[in-house]
Structure 1
């Protein structure tokens, strides 16, 4: 039997997971909690094989809970589940030691399959998430998306120049710089200056 503990702040979601798992012959639903405030005690008490971990919860969230589990109970596998296909959360979860990543919108069969894959030592990932990961770890793919001018703007932006300074240096208008930066954000799937600069230093800086 695969012993499963679930974290989610949505009671209806927990109820659905409990019913789904209890209907599966090779799985046992052993416990649940609305956040990770007592994660260490719960892991010690229940000793699950798999933890279904929501990310966005009040108090101690899933990212922090994941870190605690992997540092204190490395044998427990964590399958992250969320309603958001957010790149930053995906990579923080994976770097934190998650064994898989599913979306809450995945159908019941896919969720059970993911649990079994992780239990057997595999790394289960929703296809949409897998695509994001591949794009992230293939910097040339992202770089090819940027035009020459966008690469120039990103380089200057990463050098600490303001929008106005970039406009003056490239002899273009302030609004054109703003447009270029919006395109950069969209193409690189980032939402802030910090993420864009981080991407530049990871993938483009020589």
Structure 2
């Protein structure tokens, strides 16, 4: 079955190039392309793509807010952030909003395509810089009763990522498979999303 993909990108030329790239790739089909978050949010619930490539810096609503709203209504849709700059703060905010990965626009084409397939297969790529931010986030939120604590193994994987270890190194060090490493990272993402939603609920309760 073909993986359906939608693109949210305000650069029309780049957007068209990505659409062409997706449709030329075996196993992928572009089912929508949008120049703004607002247009995407209006159309995507009816399109229901497997994956959305979401730019962060968009006119109007940001890609981060777009991700938050999209995931609230379509939790099964995978969102991969597509960004020009490796701005760890923006990427981390995107992940907290519900994204399960990110790629830089300068990333070689095969890696962009691989990221799409990876998230559909249950993967969730995470760099060492982002892992370090996740570590700090969980440490600062452990006292909240709603926070779901990481398992010991998830913590080991996260700490190793934060130290700059690659998936293969982590798998070797912990005597587990690379696929198992990916599973733990996906679990960390899911808990990050849950924790963020719980924090939002607490804030709303204080308003």
Common topology (TM > 0.5): yes
User: Secondary structure in 2 aligned to 1:84?
Assistant: coil
Q: Secondary structure at the match of 1:38?
A: helix
Residue aligning to 1:142 = none
The more displaced of 39-48 and 87-96 is 39-48
The 5 Å alignment of 1:24-173 reads: 24-125=25-126, 130-138=127-135
Which stretches of structure 1, 4 residues or more, deviate above 3 A after TM superposition? none
Deviation at 1:41, TM superposition (A): 2.3
Q: Look up the match of 1:22.
A: 23
RMSD: 1.3
Structure number with greater CO (CA < 8 Å, separation at least 6) is 2
In the aligned structure 1, how far is the partner of 2:14 from the partner of 2:34?
11
Q: CA deviation at 1:15?
A: 1.4
Instruction: Report what 1:11 is aligned to.
Output: 12
- In structure 2, stretches of 5+ residues that fail to align are 137-207
Distance in 1 of aligned mates of 2:107 and 2:113: 10
Q: CA offset at residue 90 of structure 1?
A: 1.2
Q: Could you say what secondary structure the match of 1:51 adopts?
A: strand
Q: Quick one: distance in 2 between partners of 1:84 and 1:103?
A: 7
Does the CA-based 8 Å contact 1:39-1:68 persist in structure 2? no
Aligned to 2:158: none
CA distance in 1, matches of 2:115, 2:21: 13
- TM superposition shift of 1:35: 1.0
Higher Rg: 1
TM-score (normalised: structure 2): 0.62
Aligned residues: 135
Q: Secondary structure at the match of 1:29?
A: strand
